[in-house]
Amino acid sequence: MINKATYQALGLTDDEYEAIVELLGRHPNELEVAMYSVMWSEHCSYKSSKVHLRRLPTTAPWVLVGPGEGAGVIDIGDDLAIAVRIESHNHPSAIEPYQGAATGVGGIIRDIFSMGARPIALMDPLRFGSLDDARTRYLVEGVVAGISGYGNSVGVPTVGGELVFDDCYRENPLVNVFCLGILPKSRLVFARAEGVGNLAVLLGSATGRDGIGGASVLASAGFDDSSATKRPSVQVGDPFEEKRLIEACLELLDEGLALGVQDLGAAGLSCAAAETAAATGAGMDVDFTQVPQREPNMNPIEIMTSESQERMLAIVTPENLDRVLALCARWEVRANVVGHVTDTGRFRIFSGSFTGNDPADMSRCVADIPCASLGQGPVYERPQARPLDHAEVLLADPAPALLAMFPDGTDLSGELLRLLSTPTIGDSSWVWRQYDHQLFLNTVVGPGGDATVLRLPDTERGLALSVDGKARFCRLDPRTGARLGVLEAARNVACSGAEPRALVNCLNFGNPEHPEVMWQFSQAVDGMSEACSALGIPVIGGNVSFYNESRGADIDPTPVVGVIGVIDSLSAPPPGMAFSPGEHVVTLGTTLDEFGGSEWAYVVHGIDGGSPPVADLEAARYLHGLIRDLVSRRVVSAVHDVSDGGYGVALAEMAIAGGVGASLIPEDDQSHAAWCFSESASRIVVTVSPEKLSEVLTAAADANVVARDCGTTGGTRLIVNGVFDVAVSDLATTWRSAVPLALGVNE
Partner 1 sequence: MARRVAVVVFPGTNCELDVARAISSLGAHPESVFHLEDSLGSAEAVIIPGGFAHGDYLRTGALAQFSPIMESVSAFAAAGGPVLGICNGFQILTETGLLPGALQKNAGLKFLCASVGLSVASNRSVLTRTTTVGDQLQIPINHFEGNYICDRETLAQMKANDQIVLRYTDNPNGSLDDIAGVSNEAGNVVGLMPHPERASAEILGSVDGLVLLESFLAPL
Active-site residue set: 43, 89
In the complex with partner 1, which residue's Cβ is closer, 151 or 469?
151
CB of 155 to partner 1, least distance (A): 3
Chain centroid, CA 454 distance in Å = 18
- Residue 285 forms beta bridges with which residues? 340, 348
Give dist(CA 118, CA 452) in Å, integer.
Answer: 18
In the complex with partner 1, which residue's Cβ is closer, 402 or 431?
431
**Strands 346-350 vs 283-287: parallel, antiparallel or unpaired:** parallel
Could you list the residues that contact partner 1 (CB under 8 A)?
148-149, 152-153, 155, 238-241, 243-244, 247, 330-332, 432-441, 443-444, 455, 457, 570-573
In the complex with partner 1, which residue's Cβ is closer, 455 or 483?
455
Query: Which helix (H) or strand (E) element contains residue 94?
Result: helix 90-95
CB of 746 to partner 1, least distance (A): 8
Give dist(CA 136, CA 608) in Å, integer.
Answer: 22
Query: Which helix (H) or strand (E) element contains residue 15?
Result: helix 14-24
Check residue 41 and give left, alpha or beta (phi > 0: left; psi -120 to 50: alpha): beta
CB of 138 to partner 1, least distance (A): 15
Q: DSSP letters of 481-519?
A: HHHHHHHHHHHHHHTTTPEEEEEEEEEE-S-TTSHHHHH
In the complex with partner 1, which residue's Cβ is closer, 116 or 646?
116
In the complex with partner 1, which residue's Cβ is closer, 207 or 443?
443
CB of 244 to partner 1, least distance (A): 5
Residues 6+ apart with CB under 8 A from 100: 89, 91, 92, 93, 94, 143, 146, 175, 234
In the complex with partner 1, which residue's Cβ is closer, 243 or 323?
243
CB of 571 to partner 1, least distance (A): 8
In the complex with partner 1, which residue's Cβ is closer, 331 or 380?
331
Residues 6+ apart with CB under 8 A from 522: 52, 384
Helix (H, G, I), strand (E, B) or coil at 77: strand
Report which residue type is found at 638: A
Distances (CA, A) of 714 to 481, 658, 684: 36, 10, 20
Give dist(CA 183, CA 64) in Å, integer.
Answer: 12
Which of 564, 478, 494, 491 shows the shortest CA–CA distance to 528?
A: 478
Give dist(CA 2, CA 681) in Å, integer.
Answer: 55
CB of 441 to partner 1, least distance (A): 5
CB of 170 to partner 1, least distance (A): 25
